[in-house]
Amino acid sequence: MNAIARLSIPAEAACAHCGAALATEARGGFCCAGCEGAHALVAGLGLDAFYRRRDTADGVLRPAAEAPTMDFAPLARPGRQGEFTLELMVSGLTCGACVWLLEQAVAAEPDVVQARANLTTRRLTLGWRGPAARGNELVALAARLGFRVAPWSAACLRADEDAEGRELTRALGIAAFGAANIMMISVAVWVGWDMGEATRAGMHWMAALIGLPVVLVAGMPFYRSALAGLRAGRMNMDLAVSLGVLAATGMSLSETIQNGPFTYFDSASSLLALLLAGRVADRAARRRARQAVAELLALQEGSVAVLGAGGIAVQTPVEQVPAGARLLLAAGERLRLDAVLEGGTALLDTSATTGEALPRSYAAGEALPAGAINMGAPVVARVTAAAADGSLAAMGRLLERAGRAKGRFVNMADRVVGWFVPVVHAVAAATFLYWWLVAGLPWSQALVPAVAALIVTCPCGLAIAIPAVQVVAVGALFRRGVLVSSATALERLASADCAVLDKTGTLTEGRPVLLPGVWSSAQLRRAASLARASRHPLARALARACQAAPVVEGVQEIPGQGLRLGCTRLGSAAFCGVAGSNPGLTLWLAEPGAAPVAFRFADKLRADAAAAVAGLRALGLEVELLSGDAAPAVAAVAREAGITAWRAGVSPAEKAARIEALRAAGRRPLMLGDGINDAAALALAHVSAAPDDGTDLAQTAADLVLRSENLAALPAAIRTARLAQTLVRQNIGLSLGYNALAIPLACLGYVTPLLAAVVMASSSIIVILNALRASKEPAAWTA
């Protein structure tokens, strides 16, 4: 969106703080008062160098109009010497200069003892002496600089994730150390044809001394996964790797003891090093995507205003609100708990829970659906269930179950391994039996060609073939705004054969957009200026429609009615003195000496929805539309987007049932949806995607999150996934071809450790080079 804004306005006028393009009547080089304040703050601290090194997207660092309302004090952990530490997730922390600015600005406070920001995980660790409530001021400081701050929570990252990554990195370091040092010895043995037998034995013992502990320790991730696979009754890639490595090590040890000519410690350790490197890179790429999803989720999490005894609202984390508490739901706020309306009427946008595009009105005593957004005046509601017992938590548990079922998907590598491993081991066993029983060698020497066969076929190329493609493809998609968080998502995406789409918030924007009307552009600008003072969804939509409108001071908001500045009014029909009913979503502008004008709003189709649907169809996917909305609205959207198969008034359970029916018919449905009502269908689908402005439940359930505003990213992602699958198949073919050549040589006893090393390295390099093609833009990416 920023890129678009930048294209349409000359680039020279940019905000001095956040870099956003400036409207013509800018206020002294700044886009808003927040940026002006932030710039003054930065300059006052002597941190101007930030602006010369800033490398963030334009407009990201624009401070929010309102200070964060959440109370961070209960989250601060007390230390031993009266200090407190607080862990935060910081959005907008995207470049080295941002890290520096944030750390220096916070550390400049005299009582701060620790301020450390992590650019990879976007985590800020704060430590200070003094009261816990001081944390709120430090958070406010970060917010004034333009960073959006949320509590670091379990949603950000699973706790064991870090430990797992550290173990892999440690194993890689050890394996790399072993491989390099053993190779040094091995090369001496290979070229040292005049080496005495005693020296050679010494060399082999040296290699064994390094090799045994390295294979034992660095191979642990593989052994563990192989055992887990066996327990589940499955042969996986790690089993093949483990068997190959352990066989090579055992045979080398026996050769060392008997003073044989060759050992294979170098093959075993460099194989481990290579595979671990692939695994570390694979993990890092996926973790980056998962981190971005977690960031979206953490920003959605938050607190609710609970009314205390004296009628004072206290911001409380959602999990701590008991049933029976009274909530104050402000305009534009999302209801996060099941509740009933206490009094008056409420106008709620239920598009996330039912798919209806028009807001619905609720009377006192009616149950309000969790997940709806308040479109009217602030209302008071009584909580009927605590968060853990509520409908959203029940949905979350359902998704978890569905997600586990999806985890049983067997990827292509493991399918190949399923027949490859038995074949290879049968060949190795036959080789051993032939040399031992037929050719009459002693068993220890007959073992050598058999293990050599295991080593050259040890699926080095095969094991690296898939991670290599995954790393490149997931990285390429990440750069284009598609976040892939699941390991098998690409493979499932490539094989999808029909698409089920949601309407509200998915094909459409999911929020009100200003319709053309009979107002003049000057009236729009004045109305938008007023609207900037409010958080009401319609006021926000109006402000979005005219970004260039200046901010005006002194606007007064009358909750539930409208905004007033002097004699100018913006708000409901009654508030502006217009008689008659108020069809749909309308704001009226009443100015002295002029007739009131109406600004009408509606949910609009995304700009590229039709193109995306056509793109999906061009890829051979049948497209259908399932919506909870009423038939006329769905029909209109389906016609505009070019979809012939559509159904209206579909409940969440019916959506899930439709997906199950498709799967039962042998289809592989791709589900695209954003709402709470889509979450079950998303979790059940063969593969699923959610836009990044969707609800947190939908994003958790989906395999892909589309971060770019346009839906065209989806067909493009399918093209990338299909290209990646083609490359994976090529890579598997390449490494199987290599094996077909190497196995006969090994069985006949011609393979030396040198040859094995050359075969292993060259097959891996070819496979990796082939994988790099996955980042190539598929032809019609921009279309």
Residues 471-510 as b or e (16 or more Cβ within 10 Å = b): bbbbbbbbeebbbbbbbbbbbbbbbbebbbbbbbbbbbbb
Residue 568, token pair as written in the block = 């100018």
The residue among 541, 516, 514, 508 whose CA lies nearest residue 634 is 508
Interatomic CA distance for residues 216 and 225, integer angstroms: 14
Closest CB to another protein among residues 174, 460: 174
Nearer to another protein, 76 or 747 (CB): 76
User: What is the closest distance, in whole angstroms, from the C-beta atom of residue 699 to another protein in the complex?
Assistant: 24
- In whole angstroms, give the CA distance from residue 223 to residue 407: 20
Q: Minimum distance between the CB of residue 533 and another protein, rounded to whole angstroms? A: 37
Q: Which helix (H) or strand (E) holds 589?
A: strand 585-590
Contacts 24+ apart (CB under 8 A), 656-664: 656/680, 656/681, 656/684, 658/500, 658/626, 659/500, 659/684, 659/685, 660/684, 662/498, 662/500
Regarding beta strands 562-565 and 568-571, do their DSSP bridges make them parallel or antiparallel, or are they unpaired? antiparallel
Q: By three-state DSSP, how is residue 128 classified?
A: strand
DSSP state of 516: P
Structure tokens at 340: 């009933």
Task: Find out whether 715 and 618 touch, Cβ atoms under 8 Å.
Answer: yes
In this complex, which beta carbon is closest to another protein, that of residue 94 or of residue 300?
Answer: 94
In sequence order, the 6+-apart residues with CB closer than 8 A to the CB of 650 are 355, 626, 627, 628, 658
Closest CA to 753 of 452, 461, 463, 453: 452
In what side-by-side order are the strands of the sheet with 585-590? 508-514, 597-605, 585-590, 568-571, 562-565, 556-558
Length of the chain: 783
Supply the minimum distance, in Å, between the C-beta of residue 108 and another protein: 6
**CB 214, CB 234: distance < 8 Å:** no
Nearer to another protein, 187 or 741 (CB): 187
Least distance (Å) between residue 170 CB and another protein = 6
118 vs 644, beta carbon nearer another protein: 118
Burial of 419 (0-12, 13-18, 19+ CB in 10 A): exposed
- The tokens for 654 are 């019916």
CB of 110 to another protein, least distance (A): 7
Measured from the CB atom, the residue of 147 and 420 that comes closer to another protein is 147
**Cβ 298 to another protein shortest distance, Å:** 18
Is 466 exposed, middle or buried (CB count within 10 Å of its CB: 0-12, 13-18, 19+)?
A: buried
User: Which residues, listed in sequence order, are joined to residue 627 by a DSSP beta bridge?
Assistant: none
C-alpha 606/C-alpha 466 separation (Å) is 35
Query: 53 or 415, CB closer to another protein?
Result: 53
Please report the DSSP string for 697-763 in residue order. Answer: HHHHH-SEEE-SS-TTHHHHHHHHHHHHHHHHHHHHHHHHHHHHHHHHHHHTT---HHHHHHHHHHH
CB of 163 to another protein, least distance (A): 12
Q: Rounded to 5 degrees, what are φ and ψ at 512? A: -65, 140
Considering the complex, state which of residue 117 and residue 713 has its C-beta at the smaller distance from another protein: 117
- Could you give phi then psi for residue 574, rounded to 5 degrees? -65, -40
Closest approach of another protein to the CB of residue 421, in Å: 32
Closest distance to another protein from the beta carbon of 147 (Å):
15
Closer residue to another protein in complex, CB, 39/406:
39
Report, in this order, helix, strand and coil percent for the chain, each rounded to 5.
Answer: 50, 15, 35
The C-alpha atoms of residue 763 and residue 17 are separated, in whole angstroms, by: 51
End-to-end CA separation in angstroms for the chain: 17
Min separation Cβ 102 and another protein, Å: 11
284 or 610: CB nearest another protein? 284
Q: Give catalytic residue positions.
A: 502
Q: Which is nearer to another protein, 196 or 516 (CB)?
A: 196
Q: How far is residue 687's CA from residue 492's CA, in Å, rounded to a whole number?
A: 6
Minimal distance, residue 295 CB to another protein, in Å: 15
User: Which residue do the tokens 């950000």 mark?
Assistant: 156
Query: Which residues neighbour 493 within 8 Å (Cβ) at sequence distance 6 or greater?
Result: 670, 687, 703, 704, 717, 718, 721
Query: How many other CB atoms are found less than 10 A from the CB of residue 664?
Result: 8
Cα-flanking dihedrals φ and ψ of residue 170, to 5°? -65, -45
| Residues lying near another protein in the complex (CB under 8 A) | 45-47, 49, 53, 81, 95-97, 99-100, 104, 107-108, 110-111, 113, 117-121, 129, 162, 166, 169-170, 173-174, 177, 180-181, 184-185, 196, 199, 202, 206, 210
d(CA 377, CA 558): 9
In the bound complex, what is the minimum distance in angstroms from residue 198's beta carbon to another protein?
9
Which H or E run contains 86? strand 83-91
Nearer to another protein, 175 or 455 (CB): 175
- State the nearest-atom distance from the C-beta of 173 to another protein, in Å: 5
CB of 281 or CB of 515, closer to another protein: 281
